[in-house]
A and B are shown apart, each in its own frame.
Chain A
Amino acid sequence: MSKKYKAIVIGTSAGGLEALVKILMPLPKDFSLPIIIVQHISPDSDNYMTQYLNSVCDINIKEADEKEKIKAGNVYIAPPNYHLLIEENFTLSLSNQEKVNFSRPSIDVLFETAAYAYGSTLIGVILTGANNDGSKGMKLIHNFNGLTIAQDPKTAYVDNMPLAAIKATKIDYILPLEKIAELLIKIHSGQKKKK
């Protein structure tokens, strides 16, 4: 793990809220890698999920705003009914273009734009979910030599999404949720020591 990572993207769908709690809750307050998340949600939902996650986690979690500069130590969640894109100048963009993989926000849209922006310094994480959104994005992250992580399908609430990603590309780590959190913390503290 000699490489220095600059950002983490996470995609999840059915069963995602519980999975996100298990990954985000263990992260310490000084966890400085920005995390950008797409969770499939109904277009009518309010920002309950963001508020809930922010209330139970130590790190700062907020809904993504357009043109927002991605800052270390923040977690950004795609708003309902908007795609979340990452610009190559590391700001966030929103779009309400047509659904991708029947989803808006779509994980592929986030992951692909993140891969272009961060290249090999990106970590992509795919979690529980019922369709194959995110697998094209994971493939691009891998092609850019980023790190790919999938939730172990055996431990997923719904296994289609991690299975689709594992089928689509090389996944560097296939782990249960607790171990994913541990791995992210390990990567982060390894990078901090080197500074």
Chain B
Amino acid sequence: MSNINIDNQNINLEISLLLEAIFNKYGYDFRNYSKAHIKRRILHRLSLSGLDNISAMTHKAIYDKNFASQILLDFSINVTEMFRDPDFYFFIRKEVIPILKTYPFVKIWHAGCATGEEVYSMAILLKEENLYDRTQIYATDFNAKVIKSAKDGIYSIKNIKDFTRNYQKAGGKESFSDYYTANYNSVIIDNSLKKNIVFSEHNLVTDSVFAEVNMIICRNVLIYFNRDLQNKVMNLFNDSLVPGGILGLGTKESLQFLEKGKNYNCIDLKNKIYRKKYNV
């Protein structure tokens, strides 16, 4: 076998030891994430760190909390935007809101909310549909730093043009600029949108059910998990959703190959929006 193939085997071994160390020391479990994704993130951090190899990263991660927290950030899925995939929100507004309106009180869980852009998008939509005042949104992410910035709701002003275009495509009814205050190079989300949102740390891999909810939004998170972990998280969602509850996934995610998939009807194939059956 050539040297480069042996090197690759050693790299994979070092990666699994690093993930083991992070789990044992800090309790965050990435061992069932997509290996190709994790490898790219680790090799990227290695090249920025100036360290010689991944084993040196492991040593540093054990002894240097800040370095470990940098690795956790590398593993976070933190690319998002307001009204990402506007069609998704258009469908929610047209078809899902009427369902939610039949409940006296609505609970929504946004799992893996990253920096919060899509949480505020949902809040805006609910407000415009006169549902926000009887809604409670739980927005969760495993990463404390990320949850902090979601809670702050401060975003770079250079994204506002895209956000505004998305908002309009998603069927927005008002002027998008009503929802934020611009300040130099950033915008801050209006406080009235924050009042019914609870931001908190929750780890889909290791934590359990915390509430019974009418809708779960979890977009572009499951794609980073291997099939076993996808099934495990889907069990968690299934236990949290009321009968007839709504599940919104990312465009390229699907329940088709998951064990709990049979409990759901797909109500929008393109946007991957599902509804839990009543008799399961």
Contact = CB atoms under 8 A, between A and B. Distances in A.
Interface of A: 65-67, 79, 82, 85-88, 93-98, 109, 112-113, 116-117, 119-120, 143-145
Given A88-B35, A116-B8, A119-B5, A93 B77 contact: no
Contacts of A116: 8, 36, 39
B79 A98 contact: yes
B223 A94 contact: yes
A96 B79 contact: yes
Nearest to B39: A116
B2 interface: yes
B272 to A, nearest CB: 12
28 contacts: A66-B223, A66-B253, A79-B251, A85-B36, A85-B37, A87-B36, A88-B12, A88-B35, A93-B34, A93-B36, A93-B223, A94-B223, A95-B37, A95-B223, A95-B224, A96-B220, A96-B223, A97-B79, A98-B79, A109-B40, A113-B36, A113-B39, A119-B2, A119-B8, A120-B2, A120-B5, A144-B5, A145-B2
Contact of B227 (A65, A67, A88, A109): A67
B4 interface: yes
A86 B223 contact: no
Interface in B195-228: 220, 223-224, 227
Q: Which of A67, A79, A113, A120 has the most CB of B within 10 A?
A: A67
Contacts of A86: 36
B252 interface: yes
A145 B4 CA distance: 9
A93 B37 contact: yes
Given A96-B220, A98-B79, A112-B40, A85 B34 contact: yes
Interface residues of B, number: 23
Contacts of B8: 116, 119
Given A97-B77, A98-B79, A143 B4 contact: yes
Interface string B3-20: 011001000100000000
A135 to B, nearest CB: 16
A85 B252 contact: no
Nearest to A140: B4
B184 interface: no
Contacts of A67: 227, 257
Interface in B1-55: 2, 4-5, 8, 12, 34-37, 39-40
Nearest to A108: B40
Contacts of B253: 66
Contacts of B2: 119-120, 145
Given A87-B35, A96-B220, A97-B77, 18 more contacts: A65-B254, A66-B223, A66-B253, A79-B251, A82-B252, A85-B34, A87-B34, A88-B36, A93-B36, A93-B37, A96-B223, A96-B250, A97-B79, A112-B40, A116-B36, A119-B5, A143-B4, A145-B2
A144 B4 contact: yes
Nearest to A96: B220
Contacts of A65: 252, 254
A82 B1 CA distance: 34
A79 B250 CA distance: 13
A5 to B, nearest CB: 16
Interface in B54-82: 77, 79
Given A93-B34, A119-B4, A120-B2, A113 B40 contact: yes
